C-alpha cells in the first residue's frame, strides 16, 4: 500500500457480520479481582509526535505506556505525520515503555492468507529483536481487524492481543481481543473522559489507544492539551497506570 493511501477496513455486510462474531471465537478469558482500577496507554504505529507529546508527558508522571510498532512504517511520513525511527524505538524501550508488535507491513491481517499474515507478524518481531529489545509480549491488530484463525495462531506468540473494541473490562478480559478505547480528538473525546471518570473504585482495566499527538492531529490522534486532560482525569480516578504487559501480569496474579 502506498504510505499516503489511507486504508479503511471493508464495510461489506459479510465483513460487518464477521466483525460482530469474532470477539466470541477463540477467546482466552481471564477473570480477575483488583482493588484499584488499572489504565494502560497505548500508541499505535507510531508517529514521532507521540514521543514528545505522549511518552514524555507520561514519563513526567512516572507512568509507562505500550508502543505498538509496525516496523515498515519506521521513519516514513503519512497522514499521521513523521514516524518514529529505530533510535526513537530503542529510546522508548530504554526509558521503560513497552514495545509491542503491530505486524511489519501494517496490513489488515484478515485480508491476506493466514501464512502470509503470520510471516508478516514474525518479520516485525525479528526486526524489533534486532534492535536489542526483548521479545514483544503483547500485540495490537492493525486496524483492530482479526479472525478466529489469526487469534489462534498469535495467542501462542503473545501474552495478550489488543483490539479496538471500546470500553473498560470489568472483572474479565479476553486476552485474545483486549478492548481499547480510542483517545481521539473530536466527538470520541467526551466518551474517553466518561469511561475514565467511571473507573473510581471499580474492578476494571481500561486501555486507551491513539496515534499522532500534535496540534491539528489526524482523526486517529489527539492534541497535547487533550492528553493533558486525560492524564488529569486518570489521576483523579485513582487508577494505577501500567503497560499492557504489566497489567496482564498483575491481572494474572489476581485471577479468580
Ligand atoms: Zn496501526
Q: Mind listing the pLDDT tens digit for each residue in 171-226?
A: 999 999 999 999 999 988 999 999 999 999 999 999 999 999 999 999 999 999 99
Element (H, E) at 209: strand 204-210
Q: Mind listing the pLDDT tens digit for each residue in 115-166?
A: 999 999 999 999 999 999 999 999 999 999 999 999 999 999 999 999 999 9
Task: Compute how many other C-beta atoms are within 10 angstroms of the C-beta atom of residue 93.
Answer: 18
Task: Compute how many other C-beta atoms are within 10 angstroms of the C-beta atom of residue 155.
Answer: 17
46 with 97: CB under 8 angstroms? no
Residues 6+ apart with CB under 8 A from 126: none
Nearest to 197 by CA among 248, 231, 236: 236
CA angle 176, 13, 141 (to 5 degrees): 25
Helix 224-237 and helix 189-197, axial crossing angle in degrees, nearest 10: 20
pLDDT band at residue 3, thresholds of 50, 70 and 90?
A: very low
What's the CA gap between 35 and 254, in Å, rounded? 10
CA of 17 to the centre of ligand 1 (A): 22
Residues 6+ apart with CB under 8 A from 12: none
What's the CA gap between 105 and 218, in Å, rounded? 20
Main-chain phi, psi angles of 47, to 5 degrees: -60, 145
Domain 27-253 grouped into CATH 3.40.190.150 = no
CA of 220 to the centre of ligand 1 (A): 10
Given this model, what pLDDT does residue 145 score? 95
CA of 46 to the centre of ligand 1 (A): 8
Q: What is the pTM of this model?
A: 0.96
CA of 102 to the centre of ligand 1 (A): 7
pLDDT band at residue 19, thresholds of 50, 70 and 90?
A: confident
Long-range contacts from 120-129, C-beta under 8 angstroms, 24+ separation: 121/154, 121/157, 122/157, 123/71, 124/69, 124/70, 124/71, 124/72, 125/101, 125/157, 127/71, 128/69, 128/71, 128/89, 128/99, 128/101
Residue 45, pLDDT above cutoff 90: yes
Q: Mind listing the pLDDT tens digit for each residue in 89-112?
A: 999 999 999 999 999 999 999 999
CA of 254 to the centre of ligand 1 (A): 30
DSSP state letters, 140-176: E-GGG---HHHHHHHTTT-SEEE----S-EESEEETT
Q: Where are the domains of the chain?
A: 27-253
CA of 105 to the centre of ligand 1 (A): 10
What's the CA gap between 30 and 254, in Å, rounded? 10
Cα–Cα separations (whole angstroms), residue 48 to 19, 45, 99, 184, 244: 31, 10, 14, 17, 20
pLDDT band at residue 1, thresholds of 50, 70 and 90?
A: very low
Amino acid at each position: 500500500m502506498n504510505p499516503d493511501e489511507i486504508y479503511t477496513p471493508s464495510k461489506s455486510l459479510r465483513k460487518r457480520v464477521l466483525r460482530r462474531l469474532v470477539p466470541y471465537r477463540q477467546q482466552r478469558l481471564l477473570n480477575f479481582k483488583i482493588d484499584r482500577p488499572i489504565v494502560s496507554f497505548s500508541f499505535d504505529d507510531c508517529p514521532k509526535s507521540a514521543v514528545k507529546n505522549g511518552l514524555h508527558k507520561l514519563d513526567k508522571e512516572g507512568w509507562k505506556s505500550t508502543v505498538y510498532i509496525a516496523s515498515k512504517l519506521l521513519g516514513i511520513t503519512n497522514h499521521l505525520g513523521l514516524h518514529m525511527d529505530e533510535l526513537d524505538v530503542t529510546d522508548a524501550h530504554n526509558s521503560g515503555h513497552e514495545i509491542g508488535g503491530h505486524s511489519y507491513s501494517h496490513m489488515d491481517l484478515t485480508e491476506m492468507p493466514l501464512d502470509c499474515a503470520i510471516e508478516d507478524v514474525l518479520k516485525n518481531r525479528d526486526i524489533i529483536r534486532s534492535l536489542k529489545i526483548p521479545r514483544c509480549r503483547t500485540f495490537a491488530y492493525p486496524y483492530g481487524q482479526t479472525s478466529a484463525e489469526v487469534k489462534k495462531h498469535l495467542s501462542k506468540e503473545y501474552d495478550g492481543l489488543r483490539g479496538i473494541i471500546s470500553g473498560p473490562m470489568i472483572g474479565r478480559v479476553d486476552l485474545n481481543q483486549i478492548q481499547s478505547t480510542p483517545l481521539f480528538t473530536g466527538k470520541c473525546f467526551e466518551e474517553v473522559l466518561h469511561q475514565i471518570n467511571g473507573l473510581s473504585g471499580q474492578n476494571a482495566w481500561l486501555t486507551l489507544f491513539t496515534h499522532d499527538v500534535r496540534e491539528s492531529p489526524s482523526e486517529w490522534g489527539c492534541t497535547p492539551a487533550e492528553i493533558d486532560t486525560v492524564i488529569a482525569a486518570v489521576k483523579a480516578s485513582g487508577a494505577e497506570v501500567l503497560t499492557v504487559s504489566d497489567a496482564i501480569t498483575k491481572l494474572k496474579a489476581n485471577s479468580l
